[in-house]
Amino acid sequence: MLDVQSTEKPLTHVKSKADLHRQVNASGSWTIAQIEALFALPFNELMFRAQETHRAHFPEGDVELATLLSIKTGGCPEDCGYCPQAARYDTDVQASKLMDLDEVLMAAKAAKAAGSNRFCMGAAWREPKDRDIEKVAAMIKGVKALGLETCATLGMLEADQAEALQEAGLDFYNHNLDTSEDFYRSVISTRGYQERLDTISNVRAAGMSVCCGGIVGMGESREQRAAFLTQLANLNPYPESVPINHLVPVAGTPLADQKPMDPLEFVRTIAIARITMPRARVRLSAGRQELGRAVQAMCFLAGANSIFYGEQLLTTANPEAEEDRALLAELGLKTKQSCKSEVLI
Ligand code: SAM
Ligand code: DTB
Ligand code: SF4
């Protein structure tokens, strides 16, 4: 049985070599060239630096478990080239209406019983309507009352919508930049990069924690991956949660035939997210089934300390909870219980 004891201890601002490394940049921000230089390091050196950063900022071996639920599936008007939920692509996804509150709470109770820390509700919307916000607010209140951290990903948010979600008790809002600004244009045309940045800033202004990351393996170059990580790391402050998804190619989407990226390049991406955003929860997100155990183990070594947990992501499969518990136990990793003490400095 997995040890679910919290290994949490209050985090202090440790002046590690990793912090010093960050302070090398006079402006306090990262350049694409600096991040490309990290990509170019010998693999073992990069892993060493990532591990050093990780150890300086987190208790050893703790992993956050976040369970996803698609509360409104499919029929989305957007054209994100990776997404099986876009109405315009002919995929196996069946569109459905917003779930009822009691169904959501049943799923949240099951996630908690399975050992999850965070419950993330996802909706295939370009942006929610105000009446959707009211319904999701009731879900947030119910999930929070179960003692879970709450997260939602509902598309673009206006400032007042972000405030309403925060008032309902939402801890995190997920909105991804997805990739670099230039590669973005070849993947999505119905919403601009700046609109994503605006939503993230509305979430911040409302006082919620930001969950923001993206997808790698969509055919972007290393330089574009570096530019994407630079954008994330230079958000001020950088996100508290950084989901790094490996593209899950889905039949019917424009990216259905995309070849998987080199697994070592994926591990490097995780390591650089850790080095450049030392206090963030770096989440090994979609695509874990395809990565296999050995690559996942390297990702944990590179500084990943969160996973999506439960056999379903939104519409695609994730490893069985049992399988994940066995993997974490085999690697000697523990699950965390709360991240309330994780404050970015
Ligand atoms: N509709 C909302 C939005 O786009 O912000 C929320 C849900 S959307 C599915 C959340 C994220 O899931 C996307 O930004 C993308 O990073 C990720 N995602 C979607 N399809 C994916 C796929 N096939 N492979 C990997 N990640 C995917
Ligand atoms: C994120 O970055 N990854 C999650 C979550 N945020 C909402 C979604 C992954 C979706 C993978 C494709 C699917 O299952 O539909
Ligand atoms: Fe819609 Fe979100 Fe999918 Fe884009 S990623 S098509 S916005 S559900």
Whether residue 202 is found in the same domain as residue 315: yes
Atom 18 of ligand 1, residue of closest alpha carbon: 83
Question: Which comes out higher in pLDDT, residue 76 or 12?
Answer: 76
Whether residue 130 is found in the same domain as residue 26: no
61 CA to centre of ligand 3 in angstroms: 33
β 306-308/62-72 pair status: parallel
Candidates 73, 83, 312: which one to mutate for ligand 1, based on the most atoms within 8 Å of Cβ?
A: 83
The predicted structure's pLDDT at residue 190: 97
Atom 4 of ligand 3, residue of closest alpha carbon: 80
Return the SS3 of 244: strand
Cβ contacts of 285 within 8 Å, gap of 6 or more: 213, 243, 244, 245, 246, 307, 308, 313
The predicted structure's pLDDT at residue 27: 67
**pLDDT of 17 over the 50 cut:** no
For the chain, what percent of residues have pLDDT higher than 90?
88
Q: Which atom of ligand 2 is nearest to the CA of 283?
A: 2
Whether residue 209 is found in the same domain as residue 314: yes
Buried b (16+ CB within 10 A) or exposed e, 192-214: ebeebbbbbebbbebebbbbbbb
The predicted structure's pLDDT at residue 11: 34
125-172: pLDDT as tens digits: 999 999 999 999 999 999 999 999 999 999 999 999 999 999 999 999
Give the model's confidence band at 337: pLDDT under 50 very low, under 70 low, under 90 confident, else very high. low
Q: Is residue 313 within 6 Å of ligand 2 at its C-beta?
A: yes
The predicted structure's pLDDT at residue 26: 57
Residue 283 annotated among the catalytic residues of the structure: yes
For the segment 82-103, the average pLDDT, to the nearest whole number, is 98
Whether residue 222 is found in the same domain as residue 81: yes
Where do runs of H (alpha helix) occur along the chain?
Answer: 17-23, 32-39, 43-57, 101-113, 130-145, 159-167, 181-184, 193-205, 222-233, 263-276, 288-301, 321-331
85 CA to centre of ligand 3 in angstroms: 6
Whether residue 49 is found in the same domain as residue 174: no
Whether residue 43 is found in the same domain as residue 125: no
Whether residue 249 is found in the same domain as residue 283: yes
253-284: pLDDT as tens digits: 999 999 999 999 999 999 999 999 999 999 99
Q: Is residue 78 within 6 Å of ligand 3 at its C-beta?
A: yes
**pLDDT of 5 over the 70 cut:** no
Whether residue 199 is found in the same domain as residue 240: yes
Whether residue 140 is found in the same domain as residue 200: yes
**pLDDT of 63 over the 60 cut:** yes
Inter-helix orientation angle 159-167/193-205, to 10°: 40
* Ligand 1 interacting residues, C-beta cut-off 6 A: 82-83, 122, 124-125, 153, 155, 175-176, 178, 214-215, 245, 247-248, 250, 286, 314
Atom 25 of ligand 1, residue of closest alpha carbon: 247
Could you identify the residue written with the tokens 């170059």?
A: 221
Question: DSSP state, 8?
Answer: -
Question: Do residues 244 and 270 lie in contact, with contact meaning Cβ atoms separated by under 8 Å?
Answer: yes
Here the CATH number for the domain that contains residue 251 is 3.20.20.70
Whether residue 36 is found in the same domain as residue 149: no
173-211: pLDDT as tens digits: 999 999 999 999 999 999 999 999 999 999 999 999 999
- Could you tell me if residue 343 is inside a domain? no
Q: Which atom of ligand 3 is nearest to the CA of 123?
A: 8
Q: Which atom of ligand 1 is nearest to the CA of 83?
A: 20
Give the model's confidence band at 336: pLDDT under 50 very low, under 70 low, under 90 confident, else very high. confident
97-126: pLDDT as tens digits: 999 999 999 999 999 999 999 999 999 999
Could you identify the residue written with the tokens 């404050």?
A: 343
**pLDDT of 7 over the 60 cut:** no
Which range has the worst mean pLDDT, 21-35, 180-194, 241-255, 298-312?
21-35
Q: Which atom of ligand 3 is nearest to the CA of 314?
A: 8
- Could you tell me if residue 344 is inside a domain? no
Which range has the worst mean pLDDT, 25-34, 67-76, 190-199, 325-334?
25-34
Q: Is residue 122 within 6 Å of ligand 2 at its C-beta?
A: yes
**pLDDT of 342 over the 70 cut:** no
**pLDDT of 344 over the 70 cut:** no
Atom 2 of ligand 3, residue of closest alpha carbon: 124
For the segment 326-330, the average pLDDT, to the nearest whole number, is 96
Q: Is residue 277 within 6 Å of ligand 2 at its C-beta?
A: no
Which candidate in 211, 212, 299, 339 is catalytic? 211
Which candidate in 22, 80, 118, 325 is catalytic? 80
The number of domains in the chain is 2
The predicted structure's pLDDT at residue 61: 83
- Could you tell me if residue 304 is inside a domain? yes
Residue 299 annotated among the catalytic residues of the structure: no
201-237: pLDDT as tens digits: 999 999 999 999 999 999 999 999 999 999 999 999 9
Whether residue 119 is found in the same domain as residue 49: no
Greatest alpha-carbon pair distance for the chain in Å reads: 52
Cβ contacts of 284 within 8 Å, gap of 6 or more: 244, 270, 291, 296, 299, 300, 304, 306, 307
Residue 339 annotated among the catalytic residues of the structure: no
Whether residue 196 is found in the same domain as residue 294: yes
Q: Is residue 278 within 6 Å of ligand 2 at its C-beta?
A: no
The predicted structure's pLDDT at residue 9: 30
Nearest to 136 by CA among 109, 173, 175: 173
Q: Residue type at 58?
A: F
Cis bond leading into 237, ω under 30°? yes
Residue 76 annotated among the catalytic residues of the structure: yes
The parent domain of residue 286 ranges over: 62-331
The predicted structure's pLDDT at residue 25: 54
For the segment 323-341, the average pLDDT, to the nearest whole number, is 81
Which candidate in 83, 212, 299, 339 is catalytic? 83
Distance CA 293, CA 26 (A): 39
Neighbours of 77 (CB within 10 A): 14
Question: pTM value?
Answer: 0.92
Give the model's confidence band at 335: pLDDT under 50 very low, under 70 low, under 90 confident, else very high. confident
